[in-house]
Amino acid sequence: MALVNENFLKLPGSYLFSDIAKKVNTFKVTHPKQDVIRLGIGDVTQPLPPAVIKAMHNAVEEMASKSTFRGYGPEQGYNFLIETIIKNDYASRGISLEPSEVFINDGAKSDTGNIGDILRHDNSVGITDPVYPVYIDSNVMAGRAGDLIDGKWSNLVYIPCLSENNFIPQIPDRRIDMLYLCYPNNPTGTTLTKEELKKWVNYALENDTLILYDAAYEAYIQEPDVPHSIYEIKGAKKVAIEFRSFSKTAGFTGVRCGYTVVPKELNAITLDGEQVSLNKLWNRRQCTKFNGTSYITQRAAEAIYTPEGKEQIKEIINYYMTNAKIMKEGIESTGLKVFGGVNAPYLWVKTPNGMPSWKFFEQLLYEANIVGTPGVGFGPSGEGYIRLTAFGAREDCVEAMRRLKNWIK
C-alpha cells in the first residue's frame, strides 16, 4: 500500500474557523430569534468594481470568438498584467523589476503554501506570533515544523508580537533559514515602519535568511512611513520573496488572483555550498505544477490599474477603512484596548482583565451577539485577544458597536 506523508497526521484535527462555525450554529439553534453580526472571517462583502466587471465581460466575449479566443496562457501569467503590475506597484515606488521576476497566481494562499516546494525539508522556520495559519500548516506538511508540544511546534521559532512590545517583533538571537513576515499584519492589523522593516532586512542580509514577505493587505496602508513593498528597503531583493493578492485590494476573494515576486538576485544554497537562483526554481515549479490563471481573471486584474479601476477600489477600501475607524472608536469608547485598524482592515482587541480568547468569544456571542475570531486560534501569543474585521456592511459595524457599548456598560 502506498505510504502516506505522515507529517499530515501531526496537524490537529479541527480548524479554527469550523470550530467557530459550530459554536455560532449552536447559538443560533438555541437562540433562533437573535440576530448575529459576523465580524469574524476576513472575507470582503462589497461587489467587484465596475471597471473590473466591464473587463471581465469583454474578456468573456473574446473567448466566444475564434479570432480572439485564448487557450493555454503562459504559466507565469500574461505580460499585459505583469507589465501593469511592475509599472504601478513597483516602478512608481522606485523599484525596478523584470517581467520574469513576477509570477501571476490564483491567489496568495496557493503560493504562500507551495513556496516550500523549492526549499529543503530541514530549513529552520521563523514566524511572528500570532500568525496566518497557512504558514505553519504548510510547513508541518513539509516536515519542517517538528512536533506540536503544548501548543507550539518544536522546530519553529516563535517571535511574539504583543501589546507589551507594541506588536513589533524582536530580532531573534539566532539564525533562521526561512522567516515569514506579513505586513500590514493579519491578524493584528499592525504595521512596521520603514526603519523597523530595515532591521529585518539587515538581519536577513547578515544571517542569509530568506524572508517570505506577505503584503496581501498593502492596499490598506494609509500612513506615509509604512512600506508598501519590502523592496523599498535596500538589499531586500537579495533576501526576500514578496506575495501580493487582489483578494482584499479589489474584492477578488471569489475571483482568485494574486502574484509573487521572486527577484533574480535571490539565491538559496545546496548542501555543497553552491548558490542557486530561487527565481529559476520557482519558475520550474510553476511550469510543472500550475497552468496559469484564467485569462478572464487576468484581464479583470489588469482593470484594477486603469484610472477608473484605481478610483473605484480606493472607494471600496475607504468604505472598509471607515468601518475600521468607526469600530476602533467604538471599542475604545468602551474602555477596551484595541490595536490595528489604521493601515489594515483588522482590529485586534485585548480581552478585559486578561480573559482567555475563547471565553471572551463566547461572551461576545451570547451577550452581544457578535462573532469575532479568538486570538489564540492564530497562535499562543494571540491568547487574551480577539480579532474583529472591518469587511462587514456599514450598518452592521455601527450596530455591533452599539451592542458592544451597551454590553460593556
Which parts are annotated binding residues?
15, 42, 72, 108-109, 132, 186, 217, 245-247, 256, 291, 387
Binder of a second copy out of 294, 306, 334, 363 (CB under 8 A): 294
Is residue 290 at the binding interface for a second copy, with CB under 8 A as the rule?
yes
Amino acid at 300: A
With CB under 8 A as the contact rule, which of the stretches 9-17, 92-100, 344-352, 355-363 interacts with a second copy? 9-17
Is residue 325 at the binding interface for a second copy, with CB under 8 A as the rule?
no
Nearer to a second copy, 84 or 139 (CB): 139
Binder of a second copy out of 14, 30, 32, 72 (CB under 8 A): 72
Which residues are documented as binding site for substrate?
A: 15, 42, 109, 132, 186, 291, 387
> Sign of torsion, CA 288 290 294 300?
negative
- Cell digits of residue 358: 475563547
Nearer to a second copy, 159 or 178 (CB): 178
* Alpha-carbon distances of 372 from 84, 350, 353, rounded to whole Å: 37, 12, 18
Q: Cα(first)–Cα(last) distance of the chain, in Å? A: 62
Is residue 268 at the binding interface for a second copy, with CB under 8 A as the rule?
yes
Q: What are phi and psi of 304, to 5 degrees?
A: -60, -30
With CB under 8 A as the contact rule, which of the stretches 61-69, 161-169, 363-371, 378-386 interacts with a second copy? 61-69
Nearest CA to 285 among 41, 68, 156, 115?
A: 115
Give the DSSP letter string of 130-168: S--HHHHHHHHHTT-S--EETTEETTEEEEE--GGGTT-
Residues 163-202, interacting with a second copy (CB under 8 A): 177-178
211 and 242 Cβ atoms separated by less than 8 Å: no
Binder of a second copy out of 288, 322, 333, 406 (CB under 8 A): 288
CB of 29 to a second copy, least distance (A): 22
CB of 263 to a second copy, least distance (A): 14
With CB under 8 A as the contact rule, which of the stretches 89-97, 107-115, 187-195, 313-321 interacts with a second copy? 107-115
Is residue 242 at the binding interface for a second copy, with CB under 8 A as the rule?
no
Distance of CA 389 to the CA centre of its chain: 13
Residues 133-152, interacting with a second copy (CB under 8 A): 133-134, 137-138, 141
Total residues at interface with a second copy (CB under 8 A) = 82
CB of 284 to a second copy, least distance (A): 6
Nearer to a second copy, 44 or 338 (CB): 44
Which residues are documented as binding site for pyridoxal 5'-phosphate?
A: 72, 108-109, 132, 186, 217, 245-247, 256, 291
Q: 303: left (phi > 0), else alpha (psi -120 to 50), else beta?
A: alpha
Location of C-alpha cell 456599514: 394
CB of 354 to a second copy, least distance (A): 31
d(CA 355, CA 350): 9
With CB under 8 A as the contact rule, which of the stretches 8-16, 306-314, 332-340, 358-366 interacts with a second copy? 8-16
Nearer to a second copy, 107 or 169 (CB): 107
Say which residues have a Cβ less than 8 Å from residue 25's Cβ, sequence separation at least 6.
none
Nearer to a second copy, 177 or 302 (CB): 177
β-bridge mates for residue 370, sequence order: 37
Is residue 118 at the binding interface for a second copy, with CB under 8 A as the rule?
yes
Say which residues have a Cβ less than 8 Å from residue 383's Cβ, sequence separation at least 6.
356, 357, 375, 376
Is residue 29 at the binding interface for a second copy, with CB under 8 A as the rule?
no
β-bridge mates for residue 139, sequence order: none
52 and 250 Cβ atoms separated by less than 8 Å: yes
Nearest CA to 152 among 355, 8, 12, 361?
A: 12
Is residue 299 at the binding interface for a second copy, with CB under 8 A as the rule?
no
